[in-house]
Amino acid sequence: MRNFINRFAKDESGATAIEYGLIAALISVVIIAVLITVGDKIQGMFTKVSTELDQAQ
């Protein structure tokens, strides 16, 4: 029983899984922020093109 408790106390696999989860969450937040920024710029570009096409007719 004592050996089991010592192995359990030294086991760091749960901490590693949490660290990987936090890294994945951070990467997800960065990707979402980039996509929102790029999406706004692309929408502005398409709006400008649409406006130019409407004025050309």
Over residues 1-57, the pLDDT tens digits come to 778 777 767 776 677 888 899 999 999 999 999 999 999 899 999 999 999 999 987
CA–CA dist 11, 18 (Å, integer): 13
- Across the chain, which distance is largest between two alpha carbons, in Å? 84
Q: What b/e sequence results for 13-46 when a residue is b if at least 16 CB atoms lie within 10 Å of its CB, and e otherwise?
A: eeeeeeeeeeeeeeeeeeeeeeeeeeeeeeeeee
The domain limits of the chain are: 25-57
CA–CA dist 7, 53 (Å, integer): 70
- Structure confidence at residue 31 (pLDDT): 97
Backbone angles phi, psi at 33, to 5 degrees: -65, -40
- Structure confidence at residue 6 (pLDDT): 75
